[in-house]
Amino acid sequence: MKEVPLDPKDSSKDLFLDNITLGQLCEQLENNPSKLWDDIYRTFRNPFIYRAIQKYNCSHETASDIFHDSLEALYVNIKTLNTKQSQAPLKAYLYKIGDYKLINFFNKKALEDRKTNLLILPEFLNNPYFLDELHHHQQLLLDHLFCQLDQSSQTILRLFYFKNYCLDAIVHTMNYANVNVAKTRRLQAVRKLQKIIQTKHIKYEIFV
């Protein structure tokens, strides 16, 4: 069972930190940086973890790890802020870092899991946001595998599946002898791509 942190509405907050901008944070860090970082940690840890679990359906441990990684990224990023970034709220900026790191975490996890479809990992099965992100990631991976085909196979698959050419049009475009040749070449190209995909243990059903 997941360990859920306290609801942030029930935890004490530093109202100044809750509304501070990154530019103001940089100014405050010149005075007592150690104490300020401790305050940032105490103020945002529970709300950050609570939000991550609720929004991304991740574990408490994952949310906690991402929070620490996000704080480290914040520490590095504030040293090179531009004028526009310095006006951003600290809280929103920290959460945006967390969003990016959570997405990246699950994308890497999906690629490392060779025994399951990229789209059905249990931690984000019920999260539409992550399904969209992973579908996009899977499409990028498919594009990469597609480029491993020979040029002729790439061309006929692009014409048939993405440009919606009929077989007669493909015969004319690729100078095949007849429709039967076009059918055979298309099937051969599909099988080549399916073989490449299968070596990566990825399920993809667009080519049928």
pLDDT band at residue 119 using 50, 70 and 90 as cut-offs: very low
State the pLDDT at residue 60: 92
* Phi, then psi, of 75 in degrees rounded to 5: -60, -40
pTM, two decimal places: 0.50
What are the structural domains, with CATH classification, of the chain? 8-112 (no CATH), 122-199 (1.10.10.10)
Residue 72 in this model has a pLDDT that exceeds 50: yes
Nearest to 143, CA basis, from 94, 183, 196: 196
Question: Where is pLDDT greater, at 22 or 161?
Answer: 22
pLDDT at 128: 53
Of the candidates 181, 61, 175, 57, the residue with the CA atom closest to the CA atom of residue 122: 57
Mean predicted confidence (pLDDT) in 16-22? 79
With a cut of 50, say whether residue 132 has pLDDT above it: yes
CB 110 within 8 A of CB 131: no
Round to whole Å and give the CA distance between 162 and 153.
13
d(CA 65, CA 59): 10
* Least confident range of 7-16, 73-82, 148-157, 175-184: 7-16
**pLDDT, tens digit, for every residue of 160-187?**
877 888 888 899 989 999 999 999 999 8
The chain-wide mean pLDDT, for the chain, equals 76
